[in-house]
Every structure is written in structure tokens, then in C-alpha cells.
Copies of this chain bind each other. A is one copy, B any other.
Amino acid sequence: MIHIALDAMGGDDAPVETVKGAVLALKDYPITITLVGREDCIRKELSKLNQKESDRLRILHASEVVEMGESPAQSFRKKKNSSLRLGLDMVKEKVADGFVSAGNTGAFMATSVLVLGKIPNIDRPAIATVLSTNNGPVLLLDIGSNVDCKPHHLEQFALMGHYFASLVLKVENPKVGLINIGEEEDKGDTLVLAAYPLLKKLPINFVGNVESRDILTGKVQVMVCDGFLGNNLLKFGEGLIDVFMGFFKNDCQQSWISKLGAMLLIPALKRFKKKFDYEETGGAPLLGVDGVCVVAHGRSQAKAIKNAIFRAYQESESNVIATIQEAVSQ
């Protein structure tokens, strides 16, 4: 059975929501889970849920916690007994098949590279995110771990994205696009201009440049960009969603007609929100480190944790890392 380690202490609402999320995941998926963190805290949360340790739900005590604002380098040096470190150690030692944390993302990334190492021939791991569209899932990478990319980094992101979309998202022959300010081959900044021919040579379905207006149309299934752009796009998207939701909260409260209209739309709006909800997307895979690592949103509630665990389970089951390893070794 696939075994996932969960950082029970990571995230704004840990350990309450992390423990809840683990319990939910156990009900739905054929997995075992180790909760890594302060044993007393975890036991307290489990008892609130009338749950006990079992063969499928274990606890690994970790006396330290990496805080949100902590420097990745410092936490690595000083906190050798943090839940983050011990969880990653489990993956390193093949005791666990994957690790999920909603804690300090910078520390997660840095520590995962130091503990697990990178896949040979991958220079920089990327954080990817799965977006939902009316035409199926779209993988966007990198969303923030790499600023100042070189062309061959984008090439590696494209290759990893191809395999993740194929094997984990189960998209047959996924279309891979390079995010650019125009679709013409001669458009773009120095980076994408130099990356284009590299992506073209890869044994993947590279469809060329794609404008960012098409990120959510599902025109392609993998969108490649450097982490500075990807992170900004994602955050701008979050800001825009807030503006849209503000329409229902504010603009629609100005007359009883629009209040009634907004009320009637609540069920449709709930379905719509679900499509774009990070709680549903299942966490962001960290691709390029030598082990399954899934970054959950800092604000994750139980459902988001559950879905991030599911992502780690899917990723472990699909053997995507071994496939990437084989592909880049050639």
C-alpha cells in the first residue's frame, strides 16, 4: 500500500486541519499515512475526531517546527528534528512514498533538495500547479521556485510537465506550450526566444508559443514559464477572483433585485468556485527532486490537505519520477 508522510505541523491551521485532512484521506484512498509532528498535539487532534493510531495511521514524533517566516537555510541547519525534515527523511529512506506539507514553502523546497537531491540532469526543481478549465486540467510550471531561468531550465520544465500531465493527470499526448506575448516564433524576450528551439527538439507534443489569455481555455495541457512570471500570474489571478467575488458581495447588494439574483445564483456559484478552488486542485507537485513532494497551500483546510495527499498518492502510483529520470538520462 502506498504510504504518505504528512507534515502535521505545517500550515496556518495545523495541526487541526492537517489531522482532519489525513483522516478524510484514509477513508477515501487505499493508503497509509504517517503524521509527522508533535506527538501530544497530534494525539489531541486525533482524540477530538475519535480516531486512534492504527496500522494505516501512524505518528512520528518531531520535536521542532519550521515556522512560516523562517529562513530555509537556517531551518535546515538548526532544526534537524523538525516535522519537515523528518518527513523528508522518511522519503529519502524509502519508508514513505511521498511527503505533503502546507508549511513554509521556501524551506520545503530547499530542504527537499538537500535531503532528497535532484533528479540527475535536472538543474532546478519547479513547483507546478494544476488548474481546472472547462476543457480539463492544465499544468502550469514554474510558479515560483525559479526566478532568473535559463533556456534549458524551461526545457526541463517542459519535459517534466509532459510526463506529469501524461502519467499523473492521464492526458494522452498532452499539448505543451511556452507562455509568450504572442504566438509567432520570433516574439518574446531573450529567454523564451532561446528556449523555443530547445522545446521544439524535445520528444513531446510542443505546440509553440501560447498567450497567457489561453492559460484557462485548456487549449494546451502544459504551460511553461519561468517562476517569476508564473508566480505573478497566479497571484494576479487570485486578485482577480477576489474582485469577481466582490461583485457578489458588494455590487449585488445595492438593490433587492440584484440581492435576489445573487441569492438564486448561490448553487451555480458554488459549483463554479469549486473549479478554481485551490482546495480542490490537490496541492502543487514539486517536480525535479528525487522523491514525491507535494506543496499544499498555507491556508489549507482539511479538504485541501486530503486532496494534496491524493496528489502525492497519484504521483507515487504513476511512477512519474522514475519515468522522468529515465527520460532525462538519455
- Across the interface, do B264 and A268 meet the contact criterion of CB distance under 8 Å? no
A329 CB-CB contact with B under 8 Å = no
Residue numbers in B under 8 Å from A148 (CB-CB): 189-190
Decide: A268 near B239, CB < 8 A? Known: A148-B189, A188-B228, A189-B147: no
CB of A264, distance to nearest CB on chain B (Å): 3
Q: Which of A260, A261, A271 has the most CB of B within 10 A?
A: A261
A237 CB-CB contact with B under 8 Å = yes
Residue numbers in B under 8 Å from A250 (CB-CB): 134
Residue numbers in B under 8 Å from A327 (CB-CB): none
- Complex alpha-carbon distance, A24 and B310, angstroms: 58
Chain A stretch 181-199: residues in CB contact (< 8 A) with chain B: 181, 188-190
A233 CB-CB contact with B under 8 Å = yes
Decide: A265 near B265, CB < 8 A? Known: A147-B188, A236-B212: yes
A254 CB-CB contact with B under 8 Å = yes
A203 CB-CB contact with B under 8 Å = no
Residue numbers in B under 8 Å from A48 (CB-CB): none
- Complex alpha-carbon distance, A240 and B272, angstroms: 13
Total identical chains: 2
The interface-forming segment of A74-82, A112-120, A213-221, A278-286 is A213-221
Q: Mark A223-249, 1 if CB is under 8 A from B, else 0.
A: 000111101110111111111101100
Residue numbers in B under 8 Å from A244 (CB-CB): 244
- Across the interface, do A239 and B212 meet the contact criterion of CB distance under 8 Å? yes
Residue numbers in B under 8 Å from A277 (CB-CB): none
- Complex alpha-carbon distance, A270 and B257, angstroms: 14
A144 CB-CB contact with B under 8 Å = yes
Contact of A262 among B181, B231, B265 (CB under 8 A): B265
A258 CB-CB contact with B under 8 Å = yes
Residue numbers in B under 8 Å from A243 (CB-CB): 216
Decide: A217 near B236, CB < 8 A? Known: A229-B229, A251-B268: no
- Across the interface, do B239 and A213 meet the contact criterion of CB distance under 8 Å? yes
A252 CB-CB contact with B under 8 Å = yes
A263 CB-CB contact with B under 8 Å = yes
Contact of A264 among B190, B238, B264 (CB under 8 A): B264
Residue numbers in B under 8 Å from A239 (CB-CB): 212-217
* Smallest CB gap from A240: residue in B: B240
* Smallest CB gap from A273: residue in B: B247
- Given A213-B238, A216-B242, A237-B240, 9 other A-B residues pairs in contact with their CB atoms under 8 A: A134-B246, A148-B189, A148-B190, A181-B231, A232-B232, A251-B268, A252-B265, A261-B263, A261-B268
Which A residues are within 8 Å of any B CB, using their own CB? 134, 144, 147-148, 179, 181, 188-190, 211-217, 226-229, 231-233, 235-244, 246-247, 250-252, 254-255, 257-258, 260-265, 267-269, 271-272
Nearest 6 A/B pairs, CB to CB: A261-B264, A213-B239, A147-B189, A261-B265, A212-B236, A213-B235
